[in-house]
Structure 1
Amino acid sequence: MIAASHPHLAAQEVTTQAPPAAAVSASGGEAADTLPDGPDAQRFPTAVPLPAKDDGQNAVIESDTQTERNGRYTLDGNVVITYGDRVLHADHIEYDENSGDLTATGHLLATGGENDERIHASHGTANLKEQTARFYDVTGSVGMKTSGSKLVYTSGNPFLFTGKMVVRTGPSEYQVYDGTVTSCQLPRPDWLLSAKRFDVDSEKARARNSVFHLLNLPLLYLPYVTHPVEIGGRQSGILIPDISHSSSKGYILGEEFYWAINRSMDLTAALIYYSLRGWEQSATFRYKGQGYDFATGHYSGLQDRGYTPAGGVYTNQGGEDVTFKARHDLTPQSRVAADVEYLSSYAYREAFSNSFNQAVSSDILSIAYAVKETDGFEASARADRYQGLKQAAIAGVPATPTTAAVAAVPEEQVRIFHVPSLDLNTTDHRIGATPLLWSLESSTSGLKRVQPNFASGGITERLDMHPQIALPLSVGGWNLFSSVAMRETYYSRSRQPPRVGGTGTVELTRDLNRADVEFQAELRPPVIERTFSGTWFNNLFGGADVRHTIEPVATYRYVSGVDNFLNVLRFDDKDIVSNTNEVEYGVTQRLFVRHAPSKACSLKDLETLSHTTPTDEDTKLMSHCSTSERVQWRVTQKYFIDSTFGGAVQNGRRNIFDTTLDLTGIAFLTEPREISPLLSRLRVQTSEKTDVEWDFDYDTGAKKFTADNIFADYHEGKAFAGLSYARLNAPGRFYTDGATSQVSDFSQLRTLLGYGSPTKPGFGLAANAGFDLRQDALQYAALQTSYNWNCCGLSVEYRKFELGSVRNESSYRFNFTLANIGTAGNLRRAEQLF
């Protein structure tokens, strides 16, 4: 019985504190636990009223008929008495205006109070001035009210109860005898607690010797239990143990404790035992302040006993992972924020994370900053740390699909620090009464980089200034935006230019100054457009009118003066500025669909929607006209007049410059070239239920797709599906100077299918999977099924990870949810497929 009575259900409900003292009757004895047969019997407990709260209000009386003598009213037929925020309905009421006493019979309904209380009873007595009462044959609720002819929840914490008798001892204090409490809709709740007596106040309901019923079956005996009543209230306590099994971790047993520190913050601490691996501990802290202020922190760590695979060597995958995020607004124009993470071992995350995306993510960025904005000026102070836990290629060992794992050193780290960076930036400001605009980007930074075979000595100081003057012109639908800028960058340290076959980066203690002059002109011709009305084309997209627009654009950019590119140490994108002489050209096509024409939305109005960047007026018009963008297709490419970028290109290596990075995140320069890959970005919303996107980079020189990504999403009622395909065939990343640049070559497919909803009653089923098409292998898969009753639900999941020799795991997880109580089990909401 002790084992079955483990404090359970959820942190918001369970506590291990001692039970409250028994209620004392007016005669000094304990309140009776059994109820009499009639209202005149002497064994009824006597309500001990709190100090009277008579604020001098008068009761407002309504009824079909009434008689009055010396302040005593006899009321019949649709009687309604309103006293403050309390309303009493009944068929018959006898009311003494002087004392506040009343007796009500027939369809008694009492409503009101700050928690939206409702009590239905056959009859009862009350004192309006002392706010005490006794009700019989009661069905009641807290946190619900009528909306029309229906009852609706007024909070996410509703509380419903029944009782043979309910004694009200104060404004929000009740005693419920021979009753039940639940969060489910009556009269057939999915779960309830029953007891001889419940003590209810504005925060919680308490009971001794109660029984927990699930789907009308008595399931657990509870010596002492509490249930929250306060709107938005939370309660400290112990959660149900997590029990599961994993093929790589063994039997799993975990326990969590929830601490509701106050209304703004809470803490959850957990201890998990893996029978094959050891102990894992974790804690999560949450704080929510005013406005956008918040703070969250999470810690997890594992003392791993390690394992020895068949024919392998002993492996220990223990480690720690700490994250912290926070924001505080000092004024409406200034704030401080942080997003910090520390991971001691990538192997720990790869082996024990329950999320595939997190398990394979090896980049860790920590940043803290303070910013002040005023009149288009932004001043900020920032400190950050990048940590890349990578596998570094070993110089002299060729990398192939079969030797890549052998020719690698695990957990070689690349770490980059800004300690700190002081930035001053501006938006465009007009120069006097001229059409000229000026802007500025500037920063002062302390920098450090550590990677295999190289570590910068001390802190490298960098001062960067980038002022710009621009002139926007517009004539007859032609728009020209031209600008002239200068960049001056000073480094306190430099490096020796790398050589193919060299031994690594060699840092030099002498300083370096880099200066350039920049010119850019962007030309946007008039938009070509046509509107289709009343044709099959309109029916295809389900709209009354369809407008097709073609938006060409051409940009010329020239940068000169960077003659020491190979001497610059690399820390961030400011260090990959190079000479360039290039032209970028492209075109964007769009289809706008107007769903229902109206007098207020004419075809002439629709023409303004062809702006490349919609204005506020465009946004209002699109909403007013019920217009949406169904298709967007952008195609662009660059032609490099200077194919060597001022001599910065190195043959046989992956070269990344600011101009190529602005075009695409896929590296493509391994030698001088004049034409960039052709970029296509196509997004199609064929209906309100379907979305499709196809993005690719096609290298016209090598005649191959360096990147090819397809995304599709479908949802119809409770059914949903998703498909994504990703292909990459581009120069690979390398860290050891002198190593031949490898090729990143992978092809992956991800699928998602499902039916149901995690919050609505009924059956649900979902599955997802990820495949490595190049290796012809499954990377991960999950199958999840659930069933939700009125206010409880059960979910069960099978999950599998296959991450080579690092992790090959199958596990079963579950959760059981009670509305207004919480969730038991180890299947977290953030990891659910629905």
Structure 2
Amino acid sequence: MVPAASHPHLWAQQVTTQATPLAEDQQSSSSLPDAPGARQYPVAEVLPNNDDSTDVTLESDGDQSKTGSVFSLDKNVVIHYRDRVIQADHVEFNEDSGELTATGHLHVSGGANHEDLTASHGTMNLKNQTATFYDVTGSVGLKGAGAGRTLTYSSSNPFLFTGRMVVRTGPQSYEIYDGTLTTCQLPNPDWMLNAGKFTVDSEKAKAQNSIFRLMNIPVLFLPYVTHPVDSEQRQTGFMIPVPGYSSTKGFTLGEEFYWAINRSTDLTVGAQYYSLRGWEQSATFRYRGLGNNFAKARYTGLLDRGIVTNGVYLNQGGQDVTFSGRHDFSSQTRVAGDVEYLSSYAYREAFAENFSVAVSSDILSILYGVHEWDGYAASARADRYQGLKQAAVAATPTTPAVPEEQIRIFHAPSLDFNSTEHEIGRTGLLWSVDASEAGLSRVQPDFSTGGLTQRFDLHPELSYPLGFDGWRMRASIGVRETAYSRSRQVPYNDTGIPVELPNPLNRSDLEIEGDLRAPVVERVFDSPGVEKFFGGNDVKHTIEPELTYRYVTGVNNFLSVLRFDDVDIVSDTNELEYGVTQRLFLRPVKNRPCKERPESTAQSQNWEDDIGKVQTRQIADAKDSLPSCGSHPLISWRLAQKYFFNENFGGAVINGRRNIFDTTLNFSGIAFLTEPRAISPLISRLRVRTSAHMDVEWDFDLDTGAKKFTSNNVLVDVHENNVFAGLSYARLNAPGRFYTEGVISAVSNFNQLRLLLGYGSPTKPGLGIAGNVGLDLNANNTGLVQYGAVQGSYNWDCCGFSVEVRKYELGSVRNETTERFNFTLLNIGTAGNLRRTASLF
């Protein structure tokens, strides 16, 4: 199977072993006639006279004469007819018949496909738009192809050609005899096709019994080959077969068939044979409609013969089906979906070509329709969550096989109503509401809900924003009413496996929140010392403090609620969140694109310090703290923490287990509650953009109670000219997941490092080399390296070659080394099994 991503151009070169023989009177010969009128080749087909009355404009620098209806012109002759321009040293033109004979430096340009050709001599009929040219060099879809001009592609599939004779059989139809075809600049193209005859029309160029040459070396014989001329057209045909090798799959060979159903729809089907594993099948359907309308479906599947690893037989076959699409009925009404079905995680781990996909254990499928009007939205959705919580373990001679454990959660369906905030008259009070009616189901090892659990949720809210002298405050009050058709047994049993009760459950709460934002404090440093240190830039420092109090009460039955989504983890809380965001902006001293804001918009105070003149300003409005006059952010750093006055969250906290509530999930995303506590971890989000070529991000959660970093992530991205590098470090040391079979992992311990380094570009000529590696710093038996790849490429002017060696280390599931390559022809396509999405460049 050769995935479609290996052929990113939809209009790639199509190859087939079936050739349609030419008629005898169309066969090419080794010699060509040297004079117009010779009969060895068919004359141009004469189209019916359409009584064309288009004016012909004749110009020349030399002698001009007319005998009857025949014009004779010499020296730099230029003829304009329709959208074409004809130039030659000598021209004879019959205005009655439209016949034209041109000799000496003949140049013809124009036409719908931007044809441009030069020839030694030729004949033309302007009315019928037919012609015969000799000793031709030309191009289609290439603007400005004349000497001394800059070449500009007018389509995504231009091509250049040569021929001893070229016959134009119509306005956009040619026959090229004893010629060559390429997309490279002449006269020394990197690659070209040689054939006795090429036939070109408005859609494609085609040839039989052609030879593909690379660096003028014969490489491949092609019985039949086509090249698209019109970039809007795609062609049905077989793709170029792709070989490959993998240490676990063996030698591979794949082929695909591409079907251009119509201008909006196409289908690609293919198969790939693995000598050690069996057959893999694939299919891709694509549709692109008006506006945002689209549909895309992808299927892959493997009939696996199995593999023996450490004396254990493993069958890793499976299927993976994805669909995504959208249809807009109007600007306010649409349906959309993103659906995936995966039959086996072992199949994904063993055969996914992207490491991130191979180790991903969560799948979310959703279908929804929504209608929006005047700040309201009504929607219907159905979704399915599929998550792997413990991988399958193969059987050994002494132990039975353990199946993989999955959790599946369904909304089938959910009807939702939401609104933005609306003002009540002119009171300044704002109201909003969220409501939903859902049918829910959950399936996991040793537990399954009995059919659909009905849930109705209503959440109205009133808020009142205030602002004075730069201060901002927003107070809100809301209630929440949630009704369930089933509940969960309390207290929980020792195994932790849920026990469903048929008893309905009603949950009510009162929510009060106040948000306070102080004026943004701003300081501008514009001394010569600061400007010198920061490369000729002023520096602006802003401080944005924030304070949020939240009180929720009434949820006295949290442990009785079955868990399906974030609606079910609402709990009592009495908390205060405090934080501050600091920013540094750089502003060029010279060439400022705008004027300073007038002083009347703010109160200011000036003083001197050891750095120089420093201006402090309290902004009257938060928007005034945004960068101005060419400023760009250098540093953004946010620190925040929560204090919980209600340490056990209304009795919802269970000692010794990981507890997740909506208030903790929305704050950090990293679990930290295993017992009642008053202070959350301190979260830090630091982003530094030193220049347009370097970005740094450092995010951590510091648990001051446990005295450790529960999460610590560092990202670095550098790119300067052709050099690029990246680093990502991820550390997780948080409370562990509770497994349904009663096994509790005290800590989720994750410590990984990713490195990338390279030189080169996939689109520029020259050498490129890159490598990346993923390291598991907690590795014990699995090994330090999880994956790694080295890729090299070399690009000529209009073709390129890339090769890659990639290594996967995923324990007993996958220990594989693969070798991939691709060969790209400019504006033609790519042959090979190294996909663009897997490229390191």
Calculate the TM-score normalised by the size of structure 1: 0.92
Q: CA deviation at 1:179?
A: 0.6
Q: Distance in 1 between matches of 2:18 and 2:495?
A: 73
Give the paired residue count: 807
Letter in 1 for 2:419: T
> Equivalent residue for 2:106?
108
Q: Aligned pair in 2 of structure 1 residues 78, 536: CA closer, same or farther (>3 Å)?
A: farther
> Equivalent residue for 1:4?
none
> Equivalent residue for 2:632?
628
2:336 aligned with 1:343: no
Q: Deviation string for 1:309-342 (max 9, x for gaps)?
A: 23x3322111111111111111111111111000
Letter in 1 for 2:714: I
> Equivalent residue for 2:208?
208
Contact 1:652 1:740 in 2 (8 A): no
Aligned positions of 1:65-84 closer than 5 A: 65=62, 66-68=64-66, 70-84=68-82
Q: CA deviation at 1:15?
A: 4.3
Q: Distance in 1 between matches of 2:804 and 2:592?
A: 54
| Aligned with 2:44 (options 36, 42, 47) | 47
> Equivalent residue for 1:484?
477
> Equivalent residue for 1:680?
684
Query: SS at the partner of 1:662?
Result: helix
| Range moving further from structure 2, 576-585 or 268-277 | 268-277
Query: SS at the partner of 1:578?
Result: coil
Quote the RMSD (CA, aligned, Å).
2.6
> Equivalent residue for 1:226?
226
Contact 1:11 1:238 in 2 (8 A): no
Q: Distance in 2 between matches of 1:673 and 1:828?
A: 50
Letter in 2 for 1:549: T
Contact 1:11 1:237 in 2 (8 A): no
Q: CA deviation at 1:411?
A: 1.4
| Range moving further from structure 2, 71-80 or 565-574 | 71-80
> Equivalent residue for 2:652?
648
> Equivalent residue for 1:38?
35
Q: Aligned pair in 2 of structure 1 residues 125, 799: CA closer, same or farther (>3 Å)?
A: same
Contact 1:133 1:169 in 2 (8 A): yes
Q: Aligned pair in 2 of structure 1 residues 85, 277: CA closer, same or farther (>3 Å)?
A: same
| Aligned with 1:562 (options 555, 559, 562) | 555
Q: Distance in 2 between matches of 1:17 and 1:337?
A: 41
> Equivalent residue for 2:296?
296
Q: Deviation string for 1:368-420 (max 9, x for gaps)?
A: 111111111111111000001221899xxxxxxxxxxx999551010000001
| Range moving further from structure 2, 104-113 or 731-740 | 731-740
Q: Distance in 1 between matches of 2:110 and 2:812?
A: 64
> Equivalent residue for 1:403?
none
Contact 2:495 2:740 in 1 (8 A): no
Q: Aligned pair in 2 of structure 1 residues 11, 435: CA closer, same or farther (>3 Å)?
A: closer
Contact 2:470 2:622 in 1 (8 A): no
Letter in 2 for 1:119: L
Q: Aligned pair in 2 of structure 1 residues 439, 542: CA closer, same or farther (>3 Å)?
A: farther
Letter in 2 for 1:514: R
> Equivalent residue for 2:519?
526
Q: CA deviation at 1:598?
A: 4.5
Q: Distance in 2 between matches of 1:154 and 1:662?
A: 51
Q: Distance in 1 between matches of 2:491 and 2:529?
A: 62
Calculate the TM-score normalised by the size of structure 2: 0.92
Q: Aligned pair in 2 of structure 1 residues 335, 545: CA closer, same or farther (>3 Å)?
A: same
Percent of paired sites with the same residue: 61
Q: Deviation string for 1:540-580 (max 9, x for gaps)?
A: 44453221101000001111111111111100000000111
Q: Aligned pair in 2 of structure 1 residues 613, 223: CA closer, same or farther (>3 Å)?
A: farther
Query: SS at the partner of 2:357?
Result: helix
Q: Deviation string for 1:60-87 (max 9, x for gaps)?
A: 3333354445443333344322222222
Contact 2:392 2:405 in 1 (8 A): no
Q: CA deviation at 1:358?
A: 0.7
Contact 1:652 1:741 in 2 (8 A): no
> Equivalent residue for 2:614?
none
Q: Distance in 1 between matches of 2:454 and 2:706?
A: 41
> Equivalent residue for 1:357?
356
2:826 aligned with 1:819: yes
2:801 aligned with 1:808: no
| Range moving further from structure 2, 651-660 or 267-276 | 267-276
| Range moving further from structure 2, 438-447 or 145-154 | 145-154
Q: Deviation string for 1:195-238 (max 9, x for gaps)?
A: 11111111111222221111111122223222221223322222
2:764 aligned with 1:771: no
> Equivalent residue for 2:318?
319
> Equivalent residue for 1:705?
709
Contact 1:24 1:31 in 2 (8 A): no
Q: Distance in 1 between matches of 2:473 and 2:370?
A: 33
> Equivalent residue for 1:191?
191
Q: Distance in 1 between matches of 2:728 and 2:137?
A: 52
Aligned positions of 1:493-504 closer than 5 A: 493-499=486-492, 501-502=494-495, 504=497
Q: CA deviation at 1:89?
A: 2.3
Q: Distance in 2 between matches of 1:657 and 1:54?
A: 82
Q: CA deviation at 1:820?
A: 2.5
Aligned positions of 1:566-581 closer than 5 A: 566-581=559-574
2:445 aligned with 1:447: no
| Range moving further from structure 2, 540-549 or 785-794 | 540-549
Q: Deviation string for 1:606-655 (max 9, x for gaps)?
A: 9999999986x998x85xx3321121101100011111111111100110
> Equivalent residue for 2:541?
548
> Equivalent residue for 1:143?
141
Q: Distance in 2 between matches of 1:351 and 1:637?
A: 42
Aligned positions of 1:64-463 closer than 5 A: 64-65=61-62, 66-68=64-66, 70-146=68-144, 149-310=149-310, 312-391=311-390, 409-463=402-456
Q: Aligned pair in 2 of structure 1 residues 666, 222: CA closer, same or farther (>3 Å)?
A: same
Contact 1:749 1:773 in 2 (8 A): yes
Q: Aligned pair in 2 of structure 1 residues 390, 196: CA closer, same or farther (>3 Å)?
A: same
Contact 2:470 2:620 in 1 (8 A): no
Q: Distance in 1 between matches of 2:625 and 2:369?
A: 34
Q: Aligned pair in 2 of structure 1 residues 351, 540: CA closer, same or farther (>3 Å)?
A: farther
> Equivalent residue for 2:803?
796
Contact 1:393 1:734 in 2 (8 A): no
Query: SS at the partner of 1:347?
Result: helix
Q: CA deviation at 1:478?
A: 0.3
| Range moving further from structure 2, 281-290 or 86-95 | 86-95
Q: Distance in 2 between matches of 1:14 and 1:612?
A: 65
> Equivalent residue for 2:613?
none
Q: CA deviation at 1:31?
A: 7.2
Contact 2:203 2:229 in 1 (8 A): yes
Q: Aligned pair in 2 of structure 1 residues 673, 409: CA closer, same or farther (>3 Å)?
A: farther
Contact 1:10 1:821 in 2 (8 A): no
Q: Aligned pair in 2 of structure 1 residues 750, 734: CA closer, same or farther (>3 Å)?
A: same
Q: Deviation string for 1:91-140 (max 9, x for gaps)?
A: 33222222222222233221222211111222222111111111121111
Contact 1:554 1:585 in 2 (8 A): yes
Q: Aligned pair in 2 of structure 1 residues 534, 261: CA closer, same or farther (>3 Å)?
A: farther
> Equivalent residue for 1:62?
59
Q: CA deviation at 1:427?
A: 1.0
Q: Distance in 1 between matches of 2:223 and 2:278?
A: 34
Contact 1:22 1:31 in 2 (8 A): no
Contact 1:179 1:197 in 2 (8 A): yes
Letter in 1 for 2:53: G
**Which segments of 5 or more consecutive residues in structure 1 lack a partner in the other structure?**
1-8, 395-405
Q: Aligned pair in 2 of structure 1 residues 503, 365: CA closer, same or farther (>3 Å)?
A: closer
Contact 1:10 1:240 in 2 (8 A): no
> Equivalent residue for 2:611?
none
| Range moving further from structure 2, 473-482 or 63-72 | 63-72
Letter in 2 for 1:348: Y
Q: Aligned pair in 2 of structure 1 residues 30, 804: CA closer, same or farther (>3 Å)?
A: closer
| Aligned with 2:752 (options 748, 753, 759) | 748
Contact 2:522 2:619 in 1 (8 A): no
Query: SS at the partner of 1:95?
Result: strand
> Equivalent residue for 1:591?
584
Contact 1:582 1:641 in 2 (8 A): yes
Q: Aligned pair in 2 of structure 1 residues 739, 407: CA closer, same or farther (>3 Å)?
A: farther
Q: Aligned pair in 2 of structure 1 residues 495, 177: CA closer, same or farther (>3 Å)?
A: same
